[in-house]
Amino acid sequence: MPMSKEDGQAAFDAVVAEATDFMAKRWVPGLVIGVIHGDNSYTTGIGVTNVDTKEPVKSDTLFHICSVSKTFCAMLAVQMSEQGDLDLNARMVDLLPWFKVNDPEATSKAKVIDLFHHHAGWSGDHCFLPVPPGGSNSEKCMLQACYLPQIVPFGQTWMYNNTSLAFAGHVLSVTGGKPYETLIEERFISPLGMDSTTFDYGTTPPPPGSNYAWGHPPIYAEEKIAELKPIFTPFPPTAGCAGGLVSHVHDMLKWARFQLDGKDKSGNTLISKESRDFAYAPAVEAPTGEFQGVTWFVRKYPGGVTSASHPGTYVGYRAFMQVIPEHNFGIVMMCNSDRGVEVYEHVANEMIKAFTKLEPTTAVAAGVDPAVLDPFVGLYKGNWQDFQITKDGDNYFLTQRSIELLTKPGVAPAPAKLETTGEGWFIVMEGPNKGMLGELLEDSSGERNYLRFSHRIFIRAK
């Protein structure tokens, strides 16, 4: 049973107080938190929108919601499927005969649902590349996909993929007969009364006093604090359905409420419970104990309680949303720092425990012979980040290097110690990635040259 409004406020305030201290120790400038539990809701803003102007974060401050935008794409696909307008099991080449990626097997086999399950295996950030001016951005993005590298064989393994969601957005646009952004506005944003939620592809920074949270780089040491400066990075329209929405926490709680009841602001059902359950059902095994639904990350808590969540990342921002339908619970957080993930993961777990008594099962170091990590030693290359695993005596360390575009001014955390879980995974024991798991996967030759970490695949440098 949901707790009383007063008890809920006390529980919320207690976690917020802890969150304030937690974010200060990580040089995170600002955060908004929203919780719904039963009929009650709780929101707050903490910190500042911009370390230079010192404008306070309020509960109506606008943030990039980053990849939480993908949940809108997913629910539009589910709605179209429920209405009989879209076959999620249709092949891409049957819907778009001109569709072609570099790999013939992926071209032939890819279905609409594969785009949401993240196991197509092609390069995951193609949609951030520039396209020529004029015409449909999403169509041009797909036309350029004939050059798209195939990272792993189609359907072989799970790999988080922005490109697939960009393709999905174009499929939905063609099916719906309107630009993707218009469909989201007409079918969700307007019916739900999310009046401050928009797609933002602006190329100039917002002016002071606009109640807009600027992004900030990650700072990992006190002597680097002078580098904590606001940054502005325009979001490309080619990737809009993968991460282009801006919103505030009140609007996002309306979106969370919609996941629980499927209704618009007038009480009309937009998506049935059966279709929402389908979106949250564990369909594809994702790494380290989670599953993928229709874009949603699915987790089972002890006792079999199902949770659906989605994180979000863009330059200087982090966002997070999670719903637990069985407990009529939802939480939304948005943060203006690349270190926001450390904050929202901790705060989400504490809020969930406070309101539902649920606690996640977490992996721990197994204390076995550390030499099982020998095969991990090496340098692994990615689009935006590289990871190097080194050995020093019996100790193993993970070093992260980020390309400047992702984390200006390019500051990286100190090497972090690794141990093994005993299940073929390593676990990071310290630093900003503490608790994260990584595993080695085989390439097409059968060699373990792929590192899956942070939801992506990194390839061993030769």
pLDDT at position 405 is 42
- Could you give all domains of the chain from N- to C-terminal order, each with its CATH number? 1-361 (3.40.710.10), 370-460 (2.40.128.50)
pLDDT at position 406 is 45
3-state secondary structure of 234: coil
Contact 318, 344 (CB under 8 A): yes
Q: What distances in angstroms separate CA 278 from CA 3, 12, 191, 274, one per listed residue?
A: 29, 31, 22, 6
Structure tokens at 102: 């570099």
**Closest listed residue to residue 277, CA positions, set 326, 316, 339:** 326
Q: What is the DSSP string of 343-373?
A: HHHHHHHHHHHHHH-------------GGGG
> ∠ at Cα 321 (316, 324), nearest 5°?
160
Q: What is the pLDDT of residues 223-270, one digit of tens each?
A: 888 889 999 999 999 999 999 999 999 999 999 999 999 999 999 999
Low-confidence ranges of the chain (pLDDT < 70): 1, 288-289, 402-411
Helices (H), 244-365: 249-261, 273-280, 340-356
Structure tokens at 107: 């071209």
- pTM of the predicted model as reported, rounded to 2 decimal places: 0.95
pLDDT at position 370 is 82
Which residues neighbour 97 within 8 Å (Cβ) at sequence distance 6 or greater?
none
Q: What is the pLDDT of residues 145-168, one digit of tens each?
A: 888 989 889 998 899 999 999 999
pLDDT at position 364 is 85
| Residues 89-119 as b or e (16 or more Cβ within 10 Å = b) | eebbeebeeebbbebeebbeebbbbbbbbbb
pLDDT at position 206 is 87
